[in-house]
Amino acid sequence: MLGPIESSPDAIRAAAAMLERLFDLVTRTCPDQAGREAAPGGGSVGGNDARAEDASGAGPRKALSGLLGLVEALELRSVARGHQDPAIVARDLRALAAMEDALRGLREAPPLKHLQEALSCVTCPAARGESLVDVMDVLDARAIRYDHVFLLGVNEGLWPRKFVEGSLLTEADRLAWAQRGAVLDRRSDLAAREMLLFYLGLSRANAELTLCYQESSASGAPMAGSAFLLALLDGLGGLQAVDLERIAMGQFLPKAEELVCGRDAFNAALAGIFAPQAAPSGTGALAWAAANQPQKITHAAMGLWARHRRWKRGRCDAFDGRISDKGLLESLGRDYPAQVVFSASGLNTYGQCPWQYFATYVLKLQPLSEPQRRLEAVTRGRFVHNVLFRVMTRLREDCGGPVRLPHIDQPRLEAALEQAVAEESADVELRRPPYPALWQIQRRQMLAELRDYLLACRARDELQGGHLHFELGFGADLEDKDRLDPASIAGPVTVPTPEGDVRLRGKIDRVDRIRFQDRQGLLVIDYKTGRLGSEGDILAGRSLQLPLYAVAAEAILGEACLGGAFHRIGGPEGNRERYFAALKCGRDGHYQEAQGYDQQRQAVMEKVGQFIRGMRSGHFDLMPTHDCPAYCPFRRICHYSDARMEVKAPAAEEEARP
């Protein structure tokens, strides 16, 4: 069933007349073949006579001559010669000649069902739609031909793809396997495949081929053409001999008469702002966009204005992290410092980058975590802290008071350490850490580092120190008391600053009582497994644990504190202690008095007061006081730039004042 036909009666009658003439023509040229195919039930017209002709071969010969006669009757050669294009005329005549040769080479006429099967294998492409350009991978286009072909990204490292050595099988491994009979893909095989794809891409063009490659990346880094491209152009004299058409970066501004849609007009309007030499078309596009797409113009203008303000020379303003809204400033004034409990790490963050503090502690933004398996089986810092807590608390229970490592024999100390490592390792292995073999190596390494640290502490008794408290918490959750010192308190510690009292929370790794010259007092110890904060970092407010913990220890224990020290566990050889205290360790290994400690401690508390004043005033400048790290979780959204920082006024002390 063909369904309804949309045509006029005259057209239908003309089509019927054409079919009748066609049937008459077929009947005259090959009557026997037509009669047999038309007989109902698959029989034949003529009975015994027809079978006799088939047996003698006369029937097939008549059918073949009839097909050749049909070509003559339809005057196909005359129709082919009537075309104006000589190439098409030659093509059609060759096709007719090839068909006649094929028919004469047949011994019998093909039955109609065979012709239908042959035609069913021919794929007729669908009618072309509105799109005149196909964008596809070379693999998908390898069997298709086009009048115009564009090959993009013909760059070194892209085509052919840059070879990356696998983590499981190296090139040497593949060669060794091949010698044993297991042939695997090698680097040369991959290069051959890429070369074949390049050839297929080149050979898809019927009329015109365009090769494109980048001379520089978006960041300005130089890029080179592919080795395949250079080899192709060798016969033409190389890349220097061909006429290249270079497209400048970001300078495409269509002419007014070439704009075909609203998006083109909008893009041309914005591009015209930065291309005054193209003012006629740019102005027209801008007028059209302002009248027809005002929302887009508004959004684009806001972005341009923000960028202009960020790069404007002078002091920081609302576009650089300064809050100016009165309602927000009133809210900050109520919260800071009365409603906030600070931590040393939070204040460190403000000292390092005020904008990062704003994102983390004011907006409470959290970076999206990417699920991945860590190469390191266990976090070293947490493991080291937990093991030292187990060792020291067990030794304190055995001693019945403060722990003095020089008074404990080495086998007993090592036994306590090994027991603590075994207990902590059992807790870790219950969680089934990834990479078990790596975990065993890491465990042995951390055991050796902790043994070296404890033995080094045992060998020094110059300060006559006793270790009093371990993991002394304040402003902390006391539910897990097994991990805190008994002297820990639930509430925060109040610390006086020039801007008023500030509440602190935290946890001190260790508190010692020492004797130095004619002074006695507390010394806070903070364990580190990485870089130690310098004196400059402490005075600048980038590393505030030692001075803040010293003040907190005095408030909790009611005893004067002489300062604190960072102790590094493991790492490269060298100075593994860093003091911010009334004493320091000289190059000869002996302790001596540190001049000006009390003034430095007061300066640090004034720095904390400046931080509080800046928070209350909404000063969260995007101006890091140290090298901006590439691993910062907010690096993608902060818009920081070293060049932009150079046009801003220095973050002087008076700028933090309201």
Instruction: Provide the pLDDT for residue 36.
Output: 47
pLDDT at 506 (0 to 100): 94
Residue type, 170: T
Given a contact cutoff of 8 angstroms between Cβ atoms, the answer to whether 579 and 585 are in contact is yes
CA distances from 193 to 187, 197, 199, 228 (A): 10, 6, 10, 12
Which is nearest to 319 in space by CA: 345, 286, 355? 355
With tokens 């590094």, the residue in question is 568
CB 539 within 8 A of CB 610: no
- The reported pLDDT for the residue numbered 139 is 78
Element (H, E) at 173: helix 171-179
Sign of CA dihedral 492, 493, 494, 498: negative
Residue 371 CB neighbour total at 10 angstroms: 4
Beta-strand runs (E) in 318-388: 341-343
What pTM value is reported for the model? 0.60
Could you say which residues of the chain have pLDDT below 50?
A: 1-5, 33-57, 124-125, 127, 280-282, 652-658
Task: Write down the pLDDT at residue 34.
Answer: 45
